[in-house]
Amino acid sequence: MAGAVAPEVRAAQRRIVGTVNASGRMNADGLAMWREVDCGEWKATASELSADLDLLQVPHTVVTAFRFPLATAYSKAMRKGEEVRILREDLGHLVPWMPSLEQVIADIREDAPHWDFTVFQPRAEGMVVARMALSAEWPAWSKKQARAARLVCAECDYDLRDQDEGRAPFDVRLPAQPGRRRLVCGKCCNNGIDEMERLAALAARPS
């Protein structure tokens, strides 16, 4: 960053540093900054953050990501947003503009969470691995917030974010609501085998 820096680039630096300090989330995959859809009246949008990162020449992507519904909200649907993500291997491009980030990157634990929340979906043709589009801060949500996001077992209320191989999350839907995701732990659904067999039997029936 030798030499003079253009005023618009310096302004972008101030905005990005402020946003990272206020709402950045670091994990094993990199850095993420979430913005709710239509938040522009109150804070910089994901597209505005992206434009600032372009000025700073920091590689990044913008993805759709959801957060738990607010307890005071009339609708209990997940809140749709966009998340600006910088891969861990690309964070070196941001360090010259935010030197304090270097130590934060060095302090990331080897067992730190990742961006994706993985679930298993039993289907007639076999088991499918799916990834829920959640905001990167999902590991830090409280149990109440995780329940609102339906990340606890619908049968026993086990917190599916816990890394227990015997209680992995399976998307086992009610026959009356086939379009609604319903997560249960492996212990409560026989690791999805019963549902997979049920769906296979339905698919084999003549119409």
pLDDT tens digit sequence for 21-76: 999 999 999 999 999 887 655 678 999 999 999 999 999 999 999 999 987 767 78
Read off the pTM: 0.87
DSSP, collapsed to helix, strand or coil, labels residue 30 as strand
Residue spans of the chain under pLDDT 70 = 1-3, 39-42, 73, 207
- Report the C-alpha gap between 67 and 79 in whole angstroms: 5
User: Which residues have a Cβ under 8 Å from the Cβ of 74 and sit 6 or more positions away?
Assistant: none
| Rounded alpha-carbon distances, angstroms, from residue 58 to 8, 20, 33 | 15, 14, 14
- State the residue for tokens 């080897």: 110
Q: Pick from 197, 143, 145, 193: which is nearest to 168 by CA?
A: 193
Would you state the pLDDT for residue 74?
A: 73
